[in-house]
Amino acid sequence: MPPARGPLSASVISALGTAPGTPIRQPVEAEDADPYGDDLQLALYLCYELHYQGLVGVDDGWEWDPGLLAVGGALERRFLAALRRDAPQGDLSTALRDVTVEPVHPEGVSEYLRVKGELWQMREYAAQRSLYHLKEADPHLWVVPRLRGRAKAAMVAVEYDEFGAGRADRIHARLFAGLMADLGLETACNRYLGAGSAPSLAVVNMMSLFGLHRRLRGSLVGHFAAVEITSSPGSRRLAQAMERLEAGPAAEHFYTEHVEADAVHEQLVRQEVIAGLLQDEPELEEDVAFGITATAFVEDRLSEHLLANWEAGRSSLYAPL
């Protein structure tokens, strides 16, 4: 269990060390907390993690404990309201165009690491992204029972690749674990939760939020589309960064694998998943657009956090590796 980062996360951590049903003390109202701050994001991450592989030493009965669900619900309402307020608003065609067009002179973390990033920065990047990449395909599966026809078939086709096309050694989460090993990092799920910055927690929490709620199925499809559309160019740059830094074959392979695979996935997501969903449920178009813009928003916040710290010669982590 990571150290608390404030009263909200301290309350959740304290409760999870007891038996399910124990009343949870709420020291402050979630409505007053910084929706993107360390305290709320860590508390929400811990609530969501019970729906994945659980937390070591925590009774599985907490997953559906009414008291914890009430706390998590208040946290995610605060977070979702902030995303709806702060993510750029626009129609679907505009949202897709904005994430599809690659700038002539790209800026961002992948370009920084490709050109001048140092090995310690790459290790920090991998530790931060491990919270996402060691579970990246999992929440997208939650949307499959909520889709029909073309959208469901195409979604499963893409997810089949994400989970290694039937081969355990090719599951993308396992490939990322290989990348971490090449960089001298430990590969256990959530090993670096205590080190992850609030912006990196928010990236994962948004994905979990969209996945767990049927009413947000359109937003999860939008998130999925944004990830697949933007992955290939960034992966190419990160593969070049790994090669320049001599990080190792598994570190390079994770990104080279995504260059080609995600270029194919992009077409499936645009032409079948999104088109199929909107054919069945055209009223979800605004939700899909929100999923795309919200994804760009939280990823931009993480990028700004990383670059601001690295340019100043500081660690981007909440706690050192």
Cβ-proximal residues to 210 (8 Å cutoff; 6+ apart), any chain: 139, 216, 217, 219, 220, 223, 291
219 vs 29, residue with greater confidence? 219
Nearest Cα neighbor of 45 from 176, 174, 187, 197 is 197
Summarize the confidence of residues 109-132 as an average pLDDT. Answer: 96
Nearest Cα neighbor of 20 from 64, 74, 76 is 64
Summarize the confidence of residues 9-36 as an average pLDDT. Answer: 89
Q: What is the pLDDT of residue 79?
A: 97
Cβ-proximal residues to 255 (8 Å cutoff; 6+ apart), any chain: 235, 236, 238, 239, 242
Whether the pLDDT of residue 104 is over 70: the answer is: no
Q: How far are the Cα atoms of 142, 155, 213 from residue 158, in angstroms, in the given order?
A: 14, 5, 21
Q: Are 274 and 288 in contact (CB under 8 A)?
A: yes
Nearest Cα neighbor of 289 from 145, 114, 91, 131 is 91
Q: Could you read off the pLDDT of 47-78 as tens digits, one per residue?
A: 999 999 999 999 999 999 999 999 999 999 99
Q: Could you read off the pLDDT of 134-176 as tens digits, one per residue?
A: 998 899 999 999 999 999 999 999 999 888 888 998 999 999 9
Question: Mean of the per-residue pLDDT values for the chain?
Answer: 92
Pair of tokens at residue 37: 């701050």
Under the phi-then-psi rule, with left for phi > 0, alpha for psi from -120 to 50, and beta for the rest, what region is 110?
alpha
Q: Are 16 and 48 in contact (CB under 8 A)?
A: no
Question: Residue 69: how many CA atoms within 13 Å on its side-chain side?
Answer: 10
Residue 120 — very low, low, confident or very high, per pLDDT cuts 50/70/90?
A: very high
Nearest Cα neighbor of 93 from 286, 298, 300 is 286
What is the C-alpha separation between 178 and 235, in angstroms, rounded? Answer: 16
Amino acid at 309: N
Lowest mean pLDDT among 40-54, 58-72, 97-111, 236-250: 97-111
Q: Could you read off the pLDDT of 297-318 as tens digits, one per residue?
A: 999 999 999 999 999 999 999 9
Residue 31 — very low, low, confident or very high, per pLDDT cuts 50/70/90?
A: confident
Whole-number percent of the chain with pLDDT over 70: 97
Whether the pLDDT of residue 121 is over 90: the answer is: yes
Q: What is the pLDDT of residue 162?
A: 87
State whether the Cα torsion 263-137-224-295 is positive or negative: negative
Q: What is the pLDDT of residue 165?
A: 87
Residue 321 — very low, low, confident or very high, per pLDDT cuts 50/70/90?
A: confident
Q: Could you read off the pLDDT of 161-218 as tens digits, one per residue?
A: 888 888 998 999 999 999 999 999 999 999 999 999 999 999 999 999 999 999 999 9
3-state per-residue secondary structure call for 95-115 = HHHHHHCCCCCCCCHHHHHHH
Amino acid at 36: Y
Residue 24 — very low, low, confident or very high, per pLDDT cuts 50/70/90?
A: confident
Lowest mean pLDDT among 83-87, 219-223, 232-236, 290-294: 232-236
Q: How far are the Cα atoms of 6, 40, 160 from residue 30, in angstroms, in the given order?
A: 12, 8, 38
Q: Which residue's entry shows tokens 């994804």? A: 295
What is the C-alpha separation between 207 and 219, in angstroms, rounded? Answer: 9
